Amino acid sequence: MIRVFHVLRLSLWPLLIRGAVLISFVRLYISMKVGFNLLILIAVLVILNWFKDVSRERDLLVEHRFLNNIFFKTGIILFITSEVIFFVSFFWCYFDFVLVVDFELGGVWPPKGIQRINPFRIPLLNTLILLSSGVLITWRHFSILNNDWFYSVITLFFTLVLGLYFLFIQFEEYVDASYNFIRRGYGRIFFLATGFHGFHVLLGCLLIRGRLFRMLRLRCDSLSHYNFEFSAWYWHFVDVVWLFLFIFIYWWGF
């Protein structure tokens, strides 16, 4: 009987990432404070080391087979689906605030005293930045399918630059905001939704940085680019989530 795929070795990375994320959310729920969370940093480091092991299994040990790649694709689809449900909970909470306004909030939304951010300034600029990065990463996909290594590296590099620029501008937006996380319901849902989106952009930048390093060292071709496909799917997911954030949280009712 011919073995069509290789059973990979056991790894502790999935267990560690689950523990770090679980404790991080429990700590956030109990304290209800936004600040630097060391466990989030540990989770990011675990993800990077996990992906490094997966790349090593494929490139150096050549342990991946066709069915292994199918399993990886199924896993990333399930992961993105879980992230979609995660953000749906934020929008559900936001619509509950908007459509059923609490008397304690003054009977209006946003609550009285809240000066909303102009959606046609920084938020619109960030929208253009993310959409441009989505175009670049799609261009990179077509380039790698055509084995065009130069444009693959250039477009991936500028996608990374735009992602980091998005995070920098979002940080400036937080600094200039007239409200904070503990300022009624509006501040909480705003910073939770946009903040977690920013964390996903940061994670996407780390994934793209890994793919860029892989391209510079290994020059993966049209037959060996599964890792990039996963990163591209994740980046497009981040783009779509931001469009919903821009429409409903920034623009709607302005």
Q: Is the pLDDT of residue 216 over 50?
A: yes
pLDDT tens column, 27-77: 665 655 444 456 566 666 776 776 666 666 665 545 556 666 677 778 788
DSSP 178: S
Amino acid at 224: S
pLDDT tens column, 2-12: 455 555 666 77
Q: Would you call 70 exposed, middle or buried from its count of C-beta atoms within 10 A (0-12, 13-18, 19+)? A: exposed
High-pLDDT (> 70) share of the chain, %: 68
> Cβ of 182: how many Cβ atoms within 10 Å?
11
pLDDT for residue 225: 58
Q: How far apart are CA 166 and CA 221, in angstroms?
A: 29
Q: Is the pLDDT of residue 129 over 90?
A: yes
pLDDT for residue 223: 47
High-pLDDT (> 90) share of the chain, %: 26
pTM: 0.78
Q: How far apart are CA 89 and CA 155, in angstroms?
A: 33
DSSP string, 94-152: HHHHHHS--GGGTSSSSPTT--PPPTTTHHHHHHHHHHHHHHHHHHHHHHHHTT-HHHH
pLDDT tens column, 156-186: 899 999 999 999 999 989 888 877 776 567 8
Reduced to 3 states (helix: H, G, I; strand: E, B; else coil), residue 214 is helix
Cβ contact 212:156 at 8 Å: yes
Between 128 and 141, the more confident residue is 128
Of 114, 109, 115, 78, nearest in space to 95 by CA: 109
Reduced to 3 states (helix: H, G, I; strand: E, B; else coil), residue 12 is coil
Q: Is the pLDDT of residue 79 over 50?
A: yes
pLDDT for residue 234: 92
Reduced to 3 states (helix: H, G, I; strand: E, B; else coil), residue 78 is helix
Amino acid at 25: F
**What's the 3-state SS for 27-60?**
HHHHHCCCCCCHHHHHHHHHHHHHHHHHHHHHHC
Q: Is the pLDDT of residue 221 over 60?
A: no
65 token code pair:
């087979």
Q: Is the pLDDT of residue 20 over 80?
A: no
pLDDT for residue 187: 81
Q: How far apart are CA 226 and CA 126, in angstroms?
A: 28
Of 121, 84, 103, nearest in space to 244 by CA: 84
Q: Is the pLDDT of residue 231 over 80?
A: yes
pLDDT for residue 65: 61
Between 203 and 13, the more confident residue is 203
Cβ contact 151:139 at 8 Å: yes
Cβ contact 129:165 at 8 Å: yes
Amino acid at 216: L
